[in-house]
Amino acid sequence: MSVPVPPPPDGLLTGTSDSLEAGEPTLGLSDASPDEGLIEDFTVEDKAVEQLVGGLLSHYLPDLQRSKQALQELTQNQVVLLDTLEQEISKFKECHSMLDINALFTEAKHYHAKLVNIRKEMLMLHEKTSKLKKRALKLQQKRQREELEREQQREKEFEREKQLTAKPAKRT
């Protein structure tokens, strides 16, 4: 009698046919699965199945419920985080718009300073033109007086020449 050899891990019997007892089939790669006749040999009791299912559920159900609860909490936290993120984005946009407003105010101050400088220049130019107009009026009046004096001088000279010219004596 030969000692049976334990099957290899892949479930296939190997070895020589001498090691097998008479009447045992040898399995090859093309042979059917070792579980093939199992369903026919196994009778299932409904009560045992219910107990097995109940035990399986009682074993895994609390963990699954805790996982479900944890996922719900995570989902709620994610929604809160998304809302917070949206609020922060809107605040960031407001800050960005505030920077734009600050830039506009800075630009407005710059242009206001330019306007003030232009106004000062205009006032200075107005004063200069007023002074020039007064000076021009004085010069014009002076020229007119000088021309009048020259005209009067010419008339005096003309009168004097007239007086100096010989006049025929009157016969008496």
How many residues in the chain? Answer: 172
44, part of any domain: no
Q: From CA 90, how far away is CA 107, in angstroms rounded? A: 25
95, part of any domain: yes
Max mean pLDDT range (14-18, 39-43, 48-52, 109-113): 109-113
Q: Considering Cα of 13, then 16, then 17, then 18, what sign does the dihedral take?
A: negative
Q: From CA 77, how far away is CA 58, in angstroms rounded? A: 29
62, part of any domain: yes
Place of tokens 């909490």: 73
Say what the pTM is: 0.38
Which has the higher per-residue pLDDT, 159 or 164? Answer: 159
Which has the higher per-residue pLDDT, 146 or 45? Answer: 146
150, part of any domain: no
What is the domain count for the chain?
1
96, part of any domain: yes
121, part of any domain: yes
Average pLDDT, the chain: 82
Q: Which domain holds residue 65?
A: 49-133
Which has the higher per-residue pLDDT, 95 or 151? Answer: 151
Share above pLDDT 70 across residues of the chain, in percent, rounded to a whole number: 73
55, part of any domain: yes
87, part of any domain: yes
Contacts with 13 (C-beta within 8 Å, 6 or more apart), sequence order = 7, 20, 26, 27
Distances in whole angstroms, Cα of residue 114 to Cα of each of 5, 86, 118, 124? 107, 42, 6, 15
End-to-end CA distance of the chain: 209
Burial class (CB in 10 A: 0-12, 13-18, 19+), 96: exposed
Share above pLDDT 90 across residues of the chain, in percent, rounded to a whole number: 52
Tokens linked to 111: 């242009």
